[in-house]
Chains A and B, each alone.
Chain A
Amino acid sequence: MSQYLKIADQIVSAEIKARKPHLILTINNRDIVVQNFQTNYAGEGTVTLNGQELSFLTGQQQDNIHVKIDGQNLEVKLLGHSATASENANAGNQVVAPMPGLVIDISCTEGQSVKQGDVLITIESMKLQTELSAPRTGTVSHICFVEGATFERDVCLIALEPELVENAAE
């Protein structure tokens, strides 16, 4: 059964193809021969992939694994057995808080028509002001906070009315 992971904003699938004579994993239809996988308690390790040895360092917090290889930092999120388990079911319908913070300025009203990219709200986090804009063209259905209110990360700040799915048949 395939596992799904999200790496650098891409969803990839992974599957065990063979265990003998060497472990072969299939990542997005690419076969990777895995040899000499070694890691210690500190998350430091080495592995040989398709004959090439690499050293790595990992740090994990829940389902997020941070991997440093070859001067690159990559964050891997384990999504389990279903790619649709990926978050953002509401993507496109909401302006979501990228950080915990404070509402500084609301530049829209409920019921207002907005264009993609219009600034809807200005927030402040870590002494920085950030303008958040409409993810798509639509109508503001709900403003979830008032100016001066504080909020947590990932909460919905402004909701847009759900988009009607156009009939694909022409």
Chain B
Amino acid sequence: MPKTDCSNVLGEDSFNYKNIKKILVANRGEISRRILRSIHSEGLESVAIYAFEDRNSAHVKEADEAVELSGSDPISAYMDVAQIIDICKRSGANAIHPGYGFLSENSEFARQVVEAGLIFIGPDPETIELMGDKVRSREFASKHNCPIAPSVVQTGTLEEFKEETQKIVGYPLLIKASAGGGGKGMTIVDNPADFSEKARLASNEAERYFGDPRIYAEKYLQQPRHIEVQVLGDGRGNVVHLYERECSIQRRFQKVVEESPAPNLYETTRKKLIESAVSLASAANYLNAGTVEFVVDGAGEFFFLEMNTRLQVEHPVTEQVTSIDLVVEQLRIADTGSLSFKQSDVSIKGHAIECRISAEEPDHDFRPAIGKILKLREPQGEGIRIDAGVQEGQSISPTFDPMISKLIIFGDSREEACARLEKALSSYVILGLPTNINFLQQLVGCSAFLKGVTTTSFISENRVALNTPEAENASLDAAAVIALLSQTEFHKSAFSMIEPYASIGAWRN
């Protein structure tokens, strides 16, 4: 079984690849680096791609080869299917790993990769298409042991949609994009007066992001938890699970803190969630790594949310507690079409927590920030893993997601992980632009988090406790003194002026 740990030392077991030789990583930043690491540890060759803006990025330097993409803007460059397949062929790579985001859940991309005679490291195109359609996937899930929340799909006019929704779903409700993901085109509607306007905006947003304006309304559970199950499948109905991740703490429908195992979860609920996920993946003849997401209410009732047909951002917490390198396992499944271990080989040890470090202003509704990273000092110590894509001197531009890195902490117990996390956050230095580090410090120190009381409304409910405490005078004074004395002119006038002149200066005043 492939292993991973905090120092990223892999297990001794070796594996003979029969098909995959060289892999193109169709992504950028931290996830590209993460995938490259496993490719290299498996003794395989790698090809990175990059947009001009990313030419100095670490993923470009770390790959065996790197090819620049052409394109009118960097995002469309990373999404250019024909160009990426062409680079793959020219560089002699025979497999593609899509990472997350970009083309990872694009069934057309997967199809073209396969048609080009290349190996797609992920599920088959039909499964991506099925799970990517939120309406079809819900129907599929409900047929296979995964309960779904009451919902209405818009088929007729907005007025008809509103009426039917009121009858079947009720308020508050969630409007989601049928082709959605990542919180795009998703909105909460509290009362009928807001319905039409919010539905219109959500549909517009869905059209822009996914080229598909279809939306649906779903019951909005109050204070639910978001819990997901990691699965691996061989494409022939055999599925193993790697337990669950708790990902309730979110802002703008995007995860901020994730952990494994989920704290305060009844053993019976955990068992049912896992059974549902495995049953769904097995029915879909799921191939490679995937995640089944659920909302769970306080009573342990749960509903299927969606299945993500790719590696998740938060996959490291699962790796830390199971000692299984998920990317290595993805490569091996793609090579052989079979799983390299049995369910009975998988067990959980300890506790892992991940924080997403982002360039943003938590006190201003988490608006994203941009700027240059002037100083970067990453925390070090036992149980600390950092998956980062940026280096000191690099800029966070408005082009891409504002995530800077992922801080992953492992401990023998949740208490130990929390204590290490607090310490790691306080020694994590990113200067030059606003980040959520201070906010995360408040978050992991607050009693609700320490008790493991996590719901998707965690941030709004604990808002007051999470606000940046007002800086004390002593800190203001220290910052002022240090900032001034760091200026050559001021430093000179404070220290190097000959006494008589200094006196005259003071005296003239």
Contacts and interface: CB of A to CB of B under 8 A. Distances in A.
Contacts of B502: 19
Nearest to A74: B479
Interface string A1-42: 101010110101010100110010101101010100101001
Main secondary structure of the interface of A (DSSP, over half): strand
Interface stretch (B213-221, B330-338, B367-375): B367-375
Contacts, number: 165
Interface string B491-506: 0011101010010000
Contact of A65 (B429, B473, B486, B509): B486
Contacts of A126: 368, 370, 398-402
Contacts of B204: 104-105
A146 to B, nearest CB: 16
Given A14-B484, A105-B201, A74 B398 contact: no
B402 A47 contact: no
Interface in A62-114: 65-76, 78, 98-101, 104-105
B437 interface: yes
B482 A58 contact: yes
Nearest to A152: B398
B17 interface: no
Given A19-B502, A71-B441, A47 B482 contact: yes
B438 interface: yes
Contacts of B367: 98-99, 125, 128, 130
Nearest to B491: A37
Given A16-B493, A19-B499, A68-B431, A74 B475 contact: yes
Interface residues of A, number: 59
A5 B509 CA distance: 21
Residue among B204, B377, B431, B484 with max Cβ neighbours from chain A (10 Å): B431
B483 A67 contact: yes
Given A57-B429, A74-B475, A19 B368 contact: no
Nearest to A69: B478
A14 B480 CA distance: 8
Interface in B424-475: 426-427, 429-432, 434-435, 437-438, 441, 470-471, 473, 475
A73 B473 CA distance: 14
Contacts of B80: none
Interface residues of B, number: 57
Interface in B177-220: 182, 184, 201, 204-205
A103 to B, nearest CB: 13
B344 interface: no
A155 B204 CA distance: 25
Contact of B374 (A14, A25, A66, A74): A66
B475 A99 contact: no
Residue among A14, A70, A73, A153 with max Cβ neighbours from chain B (10 Å): A73
Given A98-B364, A126-B401, A127-B401, A73 B477 contact: no
A74 B485 contact: no
A56 to B, nearest CB: 5
B441 A27 contact: no
Contact of A129 (B205, B371, B441, B478): B205
A89 to B, nearest CB: 21
Given A59-B432, A65-B483, A99-B398, A128 B475 contact: no
A12 B476 CA distance: 9
B481 interface: yes
B365 interface: yes
B431 A47 contact: no
A76 B372 contact: no
B482 A7 contact: no
Given A57-B431, A60-B486, A100-B398, A70 B475 contact: yes
A61 B438 contact: no
A67 B475 CA distance: 10
B266 interface: no
Nearest to B509: A1
B477 A30 contact: yes
A61 to B, nearest CB: 6
Going nearest first, the 5 A-B pairs with the smallest beta carbon separation are: A59-B374, A66-B431, A76-B483, A71-B426, A59-B431
10 contacts: A10-B476, A34-B481, A58-B482, A60-B374, A65-B486, A68-B429, A74-B479, A126-B398, A127-B401, A130-B365
Given A72-B471, A73-B431, 19 more contacts: A5-B480, A5-B484, A7-B479, A14-B481, A14-B484, A16-B493, A25-B481, A28-B473, A32-B481, A34-B494, A43-B374, A43-B375, A47-B485, A58-B375, A58-B431, A61-B432, A76-B480, A99-B368, A105-B201
